[in-house]
Amino acid sequence: MAKPGTTQDIEALAAEIGDKIYMDIAKWHLYLCDAHLHTTVAERAYPLVADKTVTEDAVIKMLEAISVPLGGGRTHVALLNLLPLQCQVNLVDILEDYQRNL
């Protein structure tokens, strides 16, 4: 849950993540905003940003912990497994930039 005063920060971070980070599914790029996952990622990432603990390992652990339902919930896959490597790198960069600007 967001602390008071951070809702706008999380929304701004979610917007940036949603527009730049995508899942690669059968060579289709499904942006996180279209999959309605951008806010979830921002909410999970914000504590890393606020505590200035953004690292590649921390972001990977966060992405592993986000479960994405597929096939109407018949199976679940970690978000980490759906993002191309370049998107993982871009996400770390976005979070580091956001962290510097706080």
For range 2-17, the mean pLDDT:
82
Start-to-end CA distance of the chain, whole Å, equals 19
User: Residue 1's pLDDT is what?
Assistant: 42
Total number of domains in the chain: 1
pLDDT of residue 70: 95
Of 84, 74, 76, which Cα lies nearest the Cα of 32? 84
Give residue-wise pLDDT tens across range 16-54.
999 999 999 999 999 999 999 999 999 999 999 999 999
Predicted confidence band of residue 3 (pLDDT cuts 50, 70, 90) = low
pLDDT band for position 2 (50/70/90)?
Answer: very low
Domain assignment of residue 20, yes or no:
yes
Range of the domain at 75: 7-100
CA distances from residue 78 to 3, 6, 40, 50, 70 in whole angstroms, order as listed: 26, 26, 13, 24, 10
Q: Quick check: is 13 in a domain?
A: yes
CA 37, 40, 42, 48 dihedral sign is: negative
In a domain, 2, yes or no: no
pLDDT value at residue 102: 81
Beta strand 28-31 with 75-78 is: unpaired
For residue 63, tell me if it sits in a domain. yes
pTM of the model: 0.92
